[in-house]
Amino acid sequence: MINQPKSDINTFPQTTPFSDIIVTFTSTDDFNKLSTKNINSYPFFEREYLELFSNNFNCNPYYLCVKHDNRIIMEGYFDKLDEQLILLGMRPVLGGQELTDYGDVIYSGYISGDLGVKLWGETKSYLSTMGIKTIRLDYLRADSPTLLFLKSLPNVEISDQEVAPFIELSAGFEGILNRINKKDRQELKRKLRRLEAIDYKFEVKIEISETDINEFIRLHRLSDPLKEKFMSKAMAEYFKMLIRLRFKNWNVNMAFLEIEGKNAASVLFFSNGIVLMGYNSGYDPLFTYYSPGLMSKVKLMQWAIENGFQTFDTLRGNERYKYDLGAVDLKLYKAIIKL
């Protein structure tokens, strides 16, 4: 599993008294409430991402804050749909498209199982007084403490929802290849030799220009009819704003694979120096002979290894290319909490 760096906040002991728990839940368009310290930071939980999503897709945002001893220990933004709450960012948009890969609340430190169960129990009781009937938590990672806490509560349904394959990079490129079955490994090496026999260039863009953004959108649309449908004019405008965001804990980067002087493929990804998350990509079918979509990910993985990253997270979806690169599944779950 993909582990985040441990917080410097002390673990709450098992003997912590639970009498001083305060739950607040307020309608708000203020996205500066989130604590700067949290143990499960992903770009989809950052205030910049949530604000952009909410403002662009007419969400109904609410801020949940749970305090113990006057200290915030659990928080998150939700989207209110009549009597149901979903995590902000999970609303399908622009024809039913899903844009957010992971969902969860945020914890400010590692807390005991007993306290976590109590936090969610108090939260359920409080929200039930506000006319909420169900809470839906989509795409919870298998390593989320929320799953552990909710399993101990009544009226909670947890089910498999999706997978998010990832690649641990510590073994190096050759070590990763050795984990792939012989036939697929030989095929990958054959495609790599074919690319490296011609004039090609792979470049990671730290500073992304308007031209880079437009090229990414062009390649994304070219690569597949479904991607062309996905990348509508409205979606392209959203992506332009997303790419320009400046996150507190993550960078937005882009990589291009050039073949014979022309852009053949592009990858849009998030990075924090430890984890690289491949968010979206595209390629020009004119270069299909050189497998530009797959090769752009191979070259990005090599770049990540060379630059000290620990994990290449390919995010949601079980596309074949992920397993061709040696990825293994991280399960994602859906939790329905009935109040």
pLDDT (0 to 100) of residue 37: 58
Over residues 212-232, mean pLDDT: 97
Strand partners, 276: 271, 312
Residues 6+ apart with CB under 8 A from 186: none
Cβ-based neighbour number of residue 79 at 10 Å: 21
Q: What is the CATH number of domain 21-164+333-338?
A: 3.40.630.30
pLDDT (0 to 100) of residue 9: 28
pLDDT beyond 70 at 152:
yes
Q: Where in the chain is the domain with CATH 3.40.630.30?
A: 21-164+333-338, 166-313
pLDDT beyond 60 at 250:
yes
What dihedral angle (degrees, nearest 10) is formed by the CA atoms of 279, 327, 91, 23? -110
Contact between 257 and 296 under an 8 Å Cβ cutoff? The reply is yes
CATH topology of domain 166-313: Aminopeptidase (3.40.630)
pLDDT (0 to 100) of residue 7: 33
pLDDT digits (tens, 9 = 90+) for 85-99: 999 999 999 999 999
Cα separation, 312 vs 254, in Å, equals 15
In three-state form (DSSP H/G/I as H, E/B as E, the rest C), the secondary structure along 115-158 is HHHHHHHHHHHHHHCCCCCEEEEEEEECCCHHHHHHCCCCCEEE
Cα separation, 215 vs 205, in Å, equals 12
Contact between 310 and 273 under an 8 Å Cβ cutoff? The reply is no
Percent of the chain whose pLDDT exceeds 70 = 93
Question: Quick one: angle between helices 47-56 and 233-244, nearest 10?
Answer: 160
Cβ-based neighbour number of residue 307 at 10 Å: 12
From the list 151, 188, 203, the residue with the least C-alpha distance to 327 is 188
